[in-house]
Chain A
Amino acid sequence: MTGLLAVALPGVPLLVGLVGLLLPPSPRGAATGEDPARRAAIALGVAGAAVALLAAVALLVRVGHPVEGSTTWIDFGGLTVTLGYRLDGVAVLVATAVAAVALAVQVYSIGYLKRGPHDDVDVDHRYPPYAAQISLFTAAMLTVVVSGDLILLLVGWEVMGICSYLLIAHDRRLPEAPAAAMKAFLVTRVGDVGFLLGIALLGVGAGSFRIADVLAHHYSTGTLTAACLLLLAGAAGKSAQFPLHTWLPDAMAGPTPISALIHAATMVAAGVYAVARLFPLFERAPVALAVLGVMAAVTLLLGAFAATAQDDIKRVLAWSTVSQIGYLTGALAVGAPTAALFHLLTHAAFKALLFLAAGVVIHAVGTTLMSRMGGLRAAMPVTFWCTVIGLGALAGLPPLSGFWSKDGVLAAAEAAALDDAGPAPQWVGWLVWLAGLLGVAVTAWYATRLLLRTFFGAPRDPLAQPHDPPGLMRWPVLLLAVPAALLGLAAFWGPFTARIFAPASEAELTGFGNSLVHTGGAVLLPLVLLLAGAGVAGAGWRRDPAADPARFLGPLRPVFARAFRLDDVQHALVVRPTTALARAVRTGDERGVDGLVEGSGRAAVGLGGGLAALHRAAVPRAVAGVLAGALLIGLAVALIGVTS
């Protein structure tokens, strides 16, 4: 039964997605919603996500300790690839979060991708492929979560990438969407080069790609470090870690529900999840963990500072995602995968909530720019309170979920810094801890700014007539607000902690103990920083409620707004050299290699022409030639005759 549920978990959304792709993509009447294909797509999408959620919940009840099941998929000359699942408490918890967010997004999209008050008359949302791609995306993420084989994990990993590509490019009215989609896929694909090589190293070493076999195999330190570093490249791409984070803010060109699905709750979590899944390997490769720690600290602060200066509400949230994933990888680097997974779950809840709430605001106002919002609190009370919960959790305000999980990350980093409790060198602990603490203050600052700029003060767009959303969009937001507020309290609940600690049970990884709750004096420090950050933002806003608190950043504002110009760096160091090289190689291939071929052809024709011309001679010269030839042959015969 468990096996059946484990197969159904990704299988049902996959099937539903494939069927959905066969529906007519762009039928008549799609804009008005009066169309059978759209209705069928809605039914398929919602049903697929709902079945997946049911399966996940059923597994949550059944699965305590790890269970596995697999069958041989293909044997490549002694390298076995299996088709199998590997379930433990963490896998089912993450699967539940994925399925829940997917269901919320499917329902929310029904209302969001309808012709709104600000749309053109002939707008056509092509709903069937959209819903089918969400289903495929869900199936791919669930495959990553339950997979018991590295190759199967890679399948889900890349299918998720291509679904994100398709969904980001969905909105045909945005000219920047196709470029953003391409960037998202290519940047992650570059990371996946490393991921594939890492998997190849591990699989070749163990003679199998089954995760259980890989974890049980004893690699040499060199191989293990190389493999872990290569895997980190893939994880950095998917989880938007420096220096492969550049795709995520641009990916906001996708519809807002897609941002919630891809860029908050699931896809960016995949990298962290994969590292946590293989953590016993990373634990034995402190060099890889040190690299991860540096990456985490840079990403955490980079994302937080970039979020301070954005005017686009979705980009603030996108950069906050980059920053929060930095906390997750930081926790991994100091050897606390459980803390990372706890924050992953709470982050999934509050970030999905924030994106969906932001979508409501965007839908009501018709713009994503905060400079044209303001004063929405009165007109949209439901959205306002949900956003408050989401931002509070993001900043780590007790007793909301983010407080507990972020506190766990900081406590682990503190222990690694002060007591050298982690598997990585002690300085990694210091780096992550200090970056994390600074990040708390900055997060509080930009969360406060977002709230004030959007919901407080005077309305800056007099034409907009904002209102709370219709039921299809309101209920997902309201329901997501519950875990965003309360999930942190699960840390006090036995069954939850038993599941999230399950994979670590055989060898308790580090000295952080078996509890998710960390109380004591150390909790005060982040709280003080939180209040300081929020207070500074509030004070700045109070001085002039119409002006942007970001003005206090001064000359740093444009630098932060463009995220330290790393896009330009990437363009100068990777994109332009590659295209220049491509042009040069094309020219070389056409002129050089093919030129040689064409040249030899022309030379042969020329040579033939020359010889032909020689043969076209007048009679006297021809006669002389024949006689000369006869004379030469005669001479040769005579000479040969003499010598022999």
Chain B
Amino acid sequence: MTFGQFLLVAVLALPALGAVAVAATPGDRAGRLVGTVAAALTLLATLPLVGGAYGWFAYGPRPPAVRPWHQVDLPWVPGLDLRFHLGVDGISWPLVVLTGLLTLLCCAYTLWRVPEGGGSGRALVALLLVVEVGILGTFLALDLVLFFLFFEVVLLPMYAIIAGWGGDDRRRAARKFALYTLFGSVLLLVGVYLVVAAAGTADLVTLTGGAGLPRGTQLAAFTLLALAFAVKSPLWPLHSWLPDAHTQAPTVGSVILAGVLLKMGTYGLIRVAVGVAPEGARWAAPVLGVLAVAAILVGGLVCLAQDELKRLIAYSSVGHMGFVLLGVATLTATGLQAALIGNIAHGVITGLLFFLAGAIKDRTHTGALAELSGLRETAPRLAGLLGFAAIASLGLPGLAGFWGEAFAVVAAVRRGGGLWTTLAVLAALGGALAAAYLLRLLRRVTHGRPSPAVRPLAPGLAGAELTAWVPLVLLAVAVGLAPTLVLSYAAGPVDALLGVVSK
């Protein structure tokens, strides 16, 4: 077993063992501490995964299209030809690190503050670690059935987090989240078995590029898989679980949900749906593009008329993920790279926005925009950070959000033709809408005279809050100034994937 293989297993084993250890630790605070340490170790284990035996230079003109840096390939259920196949490459690694980082920040935040009115903080940390196992497994799996299993692992602990520590209407929101995404999972299951039955293998490395599947199968498989991932991403009009879930989830739940859980959808779309059924992807690309742009515009317009803080940020996610999906839909190298960096940027920025929205709601006990005003008078630092996050979210060039959105538009322009040019224009207009609703948010919340809810706020921030937020602020700036941080390893895998897709 090489060091890389050891790390791959460790990345999944550490949070899993951590969750068990948290549950076994007596004492609430000690348990939370153990969980935070486990999350920190997991993040440390994800970092050295980069590069390795198959560097990006190994991508030649010759298939296979997926050549992981490290992989573990063990027989699992020999009778069904199922394998425990994990691997990491330039497409998945940034997401793996982001997952590790956000989980660590959420655990550290929970160390300081447990949401009121819910269960014990220890249980929350344990559930966060289980969610992390599922998300990391989804990003690492190179076997379709294994992918599906990890995809499903996430569902129930997330349900428990929303239902256990959420807001007033948490049970309904959690139920809606679970049922809606379960509906997507059913489609995924059918799609997976369609592919596995037709191809006779579940190995993603073999499957990528179509594996000789007939056209009809590919169209059906892509439709099923894309619908399943569209629910998770979410793609308009399959998004309506998201605002409820976000509004009711506790702060850390919202952060994980927006930060990395949605990325399972877009990652699955790139790796599984496009990879396994490239002909289906080419066939459905215009529809996907139109829906993505509809998501951008609808998300933006709803935000413009929204009057609840967390709901607004949730709907802004619909718009931002629309840009990511538009990038994927173009099926160009530019678009896919834009989608990858857009994924990371959205995770960082929206994670930060949800942290800040949670902090504001915790302090003022309201999320209604009408009751929030003048934050910069009483809590200038919080207002400054909210301003930064909003500005980053509107895609200001020089910050992380810019690259994904601008280059999704560029990719659509590059694709050319009437349809894609129109989509590019509409998506760019969506960028202006994003500025409109985020500045409206800032004007309502930070400017003006302090409202009664805001007046008693203390100007300071807790150390734990700064610890959780500063890494995200720095990342938003760093990725904005040096996008190669995310994309330097992605060029090879993306080209290889497109090599088989456009064949």
Q: Spell out A's residues near B (CB within 8 Å).
A: 21, 25-26, 73-79, 126, 129, 151, 154-155, 157-159, 162, 165-166, 169, 172, 175, 177-179, 182, 185-186, 189-190, 192-193, 196-197, 200-201, 203-204, 578-579, 581-583, 585-586, 589, 593-594, 597, 601
Q: How far is the CB of B349 from chain A (nearest CB, A)?
A: 15
Q: How far is the CB of A488 from chain B (nearest CB, A)?
A: 36
**Chain A residues whose CB sits within 8 angstroms of the CB of B436 once the complex forms:** 186, 189, 578
**Chain B residues whose CB sits within 8 angstroms of the CB of A201 once the complex forms:** 413
Q: Which residue of B lies closest to A26 (CB)?
A: B380
In the assembly, what is the distance between CA of A74 and CA of B406, in Å? 13
**Chain B residues whose CB sits within 8 angstroms of the CB of A77 once the complex forms:** 332-337, 411, 491, 494-495
Checking A76, A186, A581 against B439 with a beta-carbon cut-off of 8 angstroms, the contacting residue is A186
Q: How far is the CB of B234 from chain A (nearest CB, A)?
A: 11
The verdict on A186 contacting B432 (CB below 8 Å), with A579-B305, A594-B240 known, is: yes
| Contact assessment for A597 and B240 in the assembled complex, using a CB-CB cutoff below 8 Å | yes
List 26 A–B pairs whose Cβ atoms lie within 8 Å, in order of A's numbering.
A25-B380, A26-B459, A73-B484, A74-B487, A76-B338, A77-B494, A78-B334, A126-B380, A158-B397, A165-B439, A178-B448, A186-B436, A189-B431, A189-B432, A193-B431, A196-B428, A196-B431, A197-B428, A200-B410, A578-B436, A582-B304, A583-B305, A585-B301, A586-B306, A593-B239, A601-B179
**Chain B residues whose CB sits within 8 angstroms of the CB of A190 once the complex forms:** 432
Q: Spell out B's residues near A (CB within 8 Å).
A: 176, 179-180, 236-237, 239-241, 298, 301-302, 304-306, 332-338, 376-377, 380-381, 384, 387, 391, 396-398, 402-403, 406-407, 409-411, 413-414, 424-425, 428-429, 431-432, 435-436, 439-440, 443, 447-448, 459, 483-484, 487, 491, 494-495
Checking B376, B397, B413, B431 against A157 with a beta-carbon cut-off of 8 angstroms, the contacting residue is B397
Q: How far is the CB of B169 from chain A (nearest CB, A)?
A: 13
| Contact assessment for B410 and A74 in the assembled complex, using a CB-CB cutoff below 8 Å | no
| Contact assessment for A74 and B439 in the assembled complex, using a CB-CB cutoff below 8 Å | no
**Chain A residues whose CB sits within 8 angstroms of the CB of B391 once the complex forms:** 162
Checking A26, A76, A178, A193 against B429 with a beta-carbon cut-off of 8 angstroms, the contacting residue is A193
In the assembly, what is the distance between CA of A583 and CA of B428, in Å? 21
In the assembly, what is the distance between CA of A25 and CA of B460, in Å? 12
| Contact assessment for A589 and B410 in the assembled complex, using a CB-CB cutoff below 8 Å | no
| Contact assessment for B333 and A76 in the assembled complex, using a CB-CB cutoff below 8 Å | yes
**Chain B residues whose CB sits within 8 angstroms of the CB of A169 once the complex forms:** 447
| Contact assessment for B483 and A74 in the assembled complex, using a CB-CB cutoff below 8 Å | yes
In the assembly, what is the distance between CA of A78 and CA of B406, in Å? 16
**Chain B residues whose CB sits within 8 angstroms of the CB of A172 once the complex forms:** 376-377
Checking B301, B403, B409, B459 against A196 with a beta-carbon cut-off of 8 angstroms, the contacting residue is B409
| Contact assessment for B305 and A585 in the assembled complex, using a CB-CB cutoff below 8 Å | yes
| Contact assessment for A581 and B447 in the assembled complex, using a CB-CB cutoff below 8 Å | no
| Contact assessment for A197 and B409 in the assembled complex, using a CB-CB cutoff below 8 Å | yes
**Chain B residues whose CB sits within 8 angstroms of the CB of A203 once the complex forms:** 410
**Chain B residues whose CB sits within 8 angstroms of the CB of A162 once the complex forms:** 391, 396
In the assembly, what is the distance between CA of A172 and CA of B383, in Å? 14
The verdict on A79 contacting B424 (CB below 8 Å), with A159-B396, A182-B443, A589-B302 known, is: no
| Contact assessment for B384 and A25 in the assembled complex, using a CB-CB cutoff below 8 Å | yes
Q: Which residue of A lies closest to B495 (CB)?
A: A77
**Chain B residues whose CB sits within 8 angstroms of the CB of A185 once the complex forms:** 435, 439
The verdict on A73 contacting B483 (CB below 8 Å), with A162-B391, A182-B440, A200-B424 known, is: yes
| Contact assessment for B240 and A589 in the assembled complex, using a CB-CB cutoff below 8 Å | yes
**Chain A residues whose CB sits within 8 angstroms of the CB of B304 once the complex forms:** 578-579, 582
Checking A157, A192, A197, A579 against B424 with a beta-carbon cut-off of 8 angstroms, the contacting residue is A197
**Chain A residues whose CB sits within 8 angstroms of the CB of B413 once the complex forms:** 197, 200-201, 204
**Chain B residues whose CB sits within 8 angstroms of the CB of A76 once the complex forms:** 333-334, 337-338, 407, 410-411, 487
In the assembly, what is the distance between CA of A603 and CA of B1, in Å? 54
**Chain B residues whose CB sits within 8 angstroms of the CB of A193 once the complex forms:** 425, 428-429, 431-432
